[in-house]
Structure 1
């Protein structure tokens, strides 16, 4: 008997051999993969082979894209499980004292802790030191493998993001229209950040303006206070802002969203704007998303600014400096295009009655203000497709593409009434109207001559009236 080995010692020795063969095997497996799901699955499979009498859970933060087949629980900092949090924070094995022992082993890497392995026993005996040592070794090996896999995946994601950002930048550089640019930016941000509530804000003569391409909600009056608050928080477009929760923000912001990001797009202090992305739930966005949004907007800023400045210059060319109506040359071009492509159109030539008296009585500055008042009335009563222009001096013009003569007369009557009742000092105006129909072979010179003849009749028959050119005759309509 003395020469025979103790069966218990043989069993223990065999178990130790199995344990370390498994540890060697799983270490090789860890080194051969860069997939976090594979690493996590191997941890559970190895432990079930070596210690089938225990239950195992992986306590992980919510930034893992994990398989639903794995026994995973969320690891939250506010969790009531203080022992698990202690293992995570202290990067050390922790044992929970209870009738049935529970062990918490941190998944340690060189740069941090990547989760906690929970081992639950259904035996009343405590864990043996050899079991603790094995689980510690496995957890540390797994932690290093997870770290390598996450770093690899992050590097791949970074390369992918940089490639995508470069593609977006190239697309923006080639975009010729500001509406198209912000529409494209909306689509890209929506895809990258997974949010449909995106706003583009820009200062326009000291007032924040919601640009086209923004989500509809940003045009609602209830968002005005929120936008003004964010401008203050971002130091008037200078700083980026990331809020995973808005519980400390004013109630009117909490009523609109549960989380948000805002990133400025500025260039040489000549263009200042803000991109705002809203989340419907707390923690809708990760910090990585925030950094990606910053990179995207930073890369887009030059293209956006250049296009905005170019459009501003183009608008200066086609806009009258005083009245902000379109220039005469711009209207001429638009009428020529309309004569080729549209079915019909109405042209209204306007002259302010006795405008010289206003200038002589009140001075040229007041005269300019009256002219601006009339121009504002015209702009506020036209569609986006209609064109109002300063024809020269106190003469103005309105062109209504695809508008029949009857409707054009109604619009002229409304303008006539508003000008006579809303200008200070009060002034009246006279209108000459003409209309063309497809197939009539009318050209631009014809339209102007007809409207001018009708306007001449209005001025010489009492003023403050509308005269319609109808064939070879003119008809007074008041």
Structure 2
């Protein structure tokens, strides 16, 4: 009979053999019981009766099972075994000197088997040998099948660099070898989503002592849950450590046979090595990606980008790499306050960010160290924090703290330590480029800024007017002169005269938009250009400025303004625009001062 298809055909074979014995020996019943050492129970493995599986509870030490009685007969008569006392003949089957089965025979006529003499003994002995051979053959086939599965899955492990694929193959193999068992993978500190795999977290506070012992010691563990099932814990162990524990649950099983324990242990060990290789491969890929990110960022930031472009690029790199909810690039100002660098997310422009910035400013100013916080609410429980995960890295230049970068996420423990180290490297390699961009913009600002009034230079004003006349449809130009400025200098001194220019510069900046241009025209003359602004609006702005200067200056001064205007409806140029404003200003100075005068190409409009 073919035994290669598993346990069911083996049982059919044994039952057929018992039926032959019953027929040849003319007995009433032949049954084969398998012994379970852990529970000390005999389980019916096959019988000639139409009975369901039977469990006989008997303690082995109370059974007197003789291998060869004094009369030389192989049969053993035993009436003291509870549950087996209906049989007349009990024949022990041993393996490695340990009882593993009992062949039980019930005579139709008392003494008929013993009367068969030597022939009967030989016949029964041959049947016993056939049973033992069938059982050994079945074990060899099952073991071959298990190790064939192990070989096949090992080949797959060596060809896979995916942790999910390795874990999936473990479960698939166990389901194929032990279809009636249940399996779980107990993984320590695992943040990844493994789809539908039966994965449980294995924490250090786990109540499962056997699982933790397997994880810590790296050795296989067993535990019995009442009388219902036995659980095996096999560590997934590589050369560098243990990556988790394989939990195998066997229902209606008291103990695992040694050969099955060995197979599961080998499978777990092979899987542990494969997991280690996959993890090392993923770590290598991540390291290469991190190095590429740092290299790309350093190369980009050192390509003479403007500060706004530098910050925007760095922000995008951080968002892409860390999937942060909010990203802030904070500048520490000389007065101790914080300023936002272009590229910070909108959250840092709101009042809700103040508590985060204040906490970070104090910590980083004091410690000059990076911060990696898994749950901010645990450290500062007195406040309700919207964002729990936080990473912050100081921006240093020549060992001087210039600011810091901060990333936030709502979920606690969202960022890994690898992410933290990457952010540190990213900011460290970017600090010089950031400092260079800031210095370059400061130098550019100095070039286009008058050092006294802090208004723009004449060259910058000219450039902006030329650009506006090429792209806009209209614009208004205001030329300003301080009335009797020589008298101010003679009366109060040149230092007060400079202070008057500074006051006027601040008043101009306070009364124009960011898109407007206030400039030092020369000496005590200043100018304003209002792109896309109509003449009427421009005159209103000039008049408002005149009134503010008259009311707020100290010592009190007045100004005169000449206003000119252009639109794309007439042929015009910057030189003529300047000339018309200068002519209007000259007229204002000569007709009483402290007034706004307009030269709109064809006429003068006077307004007090």
Task: Give the equivalent residue in structure 2 for 1:170.
Answer: 299
- Asked if 1:161 is matched to 2:290, the reply is yes
TM-score by length of structure 2 reads: 0.71
Task: Give the equivalent residue in structure 1 for 2:264.
Answer: 135
Alpha-carbon distance in structure 1 between the residues aligned to 2:511 and 2:223: 75
Q: 2:565 pairs with 435, 450, 453, which one?
A: 435
CA, structure 1 residues 378+52, in 2 after alignment: closer, same or farther (shift >3 Å)? Answer: same
Q: 2:312 pairs with 162, 183, 189, which one?
A: 183
SS of residue in 2 equivalent to 1:140: helix
Shift of 1:318: 0.6
CA, structure 1 residues 236+417, in 2 after alignment: closer, same or farther (shift >3 Å)? Answer: farther
Task: Give the equivalent residue in structure 2 for 1:328.
Answer: 458
- Asked if 1:29 is matched to 2:156, the reply is yes
SS of residue in 1 equivalent to 2:412: coil
SS of residue in 2 equivalent to 1:263: strand
Cα pair 1:237 1:273 within 8 Å, conserved: no
Task: Give the equivalent residue in structure 1 for 2:166.
Answer: 39
- Asked if 1:52 is matched to 2:179, the reply is yes
CA, structure 1 residues 371+88, in 2 after alignment: closer, same or farther (shift >3 Å)? Answer: farther
Task: Give the equivalent residue in structure 1 for 2:196.
Answer: 69
- What stretches of structure 1 move > 6 A for 4+ residues in a row? none
CA, structure 1 residues 350+221, in 2 after alignment: closer, same or farther (shift >3 Å)? Answer: farther
Shift of 1:140: 2.0
Cα pair 2:190 2:201 within 8 Å, conserved: no
Task: Give the equivalent residue in structure 1 for 2:545.
Answer: 415
Shift of 1:238: 4.0
CA, structure 1 residues 261+341, in 2 after alignment: closer, same or farther (shift >3 Å)? Answer: same
Alpha-carbon distance in structure 2 between the residues aligned to 1:399 and 1:61: 67
SS of residue in 1 equivalent to 2:475: strand
Cα pair 2:325 2:410 within 8 Å, conserved: no
TM-score by length of structure 1 reads: 0.89
Cα pair 1:231 1:237 within 8 Å, conserved: no
Unaligned residue ranges in structure 2 (runs of 5+): 1-124
Alpha-carbon distance in structure 1 between the residues aligned to 2:418 and 2:601: 69
Cα pair 1:226 1:252 within 8 Å, conserved: no
- Asked if 1:374 is matched to 2:501, the reply is no
Task: Give the equivalent residue in structure 2 for 1:226.
Answer: 356
CA, structure 1 residues 392+238, in 2 after alignment: closer, same or farther (shift >3 Å)? Answer: farther
Task: Give the equivalent residue in structure 1 for 2:417.
Answer: 287
Task: Give the equivalent residue in structure 2 for 1:300.
Answer: 430
Shift of 1:59: 2.0
CA, structure 1 residues 418+248, in 2 after alignment: closer, same or farther (shift >3 Å)? Answer: farther
Alpha-carbon distance in structure 2 between the residues aligned to 1:131 and 1:421: 98
Moved more, 14-23 or 30-39: 14-23
- Asked if 1:240 is matched to 2:370, the reply is yes
Cα deviation per residue 1:166-198 (whole Å; 9 max; x = unaligned)?
Answer: 333333333532222222222222122112421
SS of residue in 2 equivalent to 1:235: helix
Cα pair 1:237 1:272 within 8 Å, conserved: no
Unaligned residue ranges in structure 1 (runs of 5+): none
Cα pair 2:564 2:581 within 8 Å, conserved: yes
Shift of 1:88: 3.1
Shift of 1:104: 2.8
- Over aligned residue pairs, what C-alpha RMSD do you find? 2.9
Cα deviation per residue 1:299-329 (whole Å; 9 max; x = unaligned)?
Answer: 3333333222222211111111122211111
- Asked if 1:98 is matched to 2:225, the reply is yes
Shift of 1:360: 5.2
SS of residue in 1 equivalent to 2:151: helix
Bigger radius of gyration, 1 or 2? Answer: 2
Shift of 1:81: 4.6
Larger relative contact order, structure 1 or 2 (CA cutoff 8 Å, min sep 6): 1
SS of residue in 2 equivalent to 1:247: helix
Alpha-carbon distance in structure 2 between the residues aligned to 1:49 and 1:106: 20
Alpha-carbon distance in structure 2 between the residues aligned to 1:162 and 1:50: 44
Shift of 1:41: 1.7
Cα pair 1:202 1:208 within 8 Å, conserved: yes
Shift of 1:248: 3.5
Q: 1:109 pairs with 231, 235, 238, which one?
A: 238
- Asked if 1:19 is matched to 2:146, the reply is yes
Alpha-carbon distance in structure 2 between the residues aligned to 1:280 and 1:66: 19
Alpha-carbon distance in structure 2 between the residues aligned to 1:123 and 1:424: 99
Shift of 1:279: 0.5
Cα deviation per residue 1:201-243 (whole Å; 9 max; x = unaligned)?
Answer: 2234444211222211111133234223212222379432221
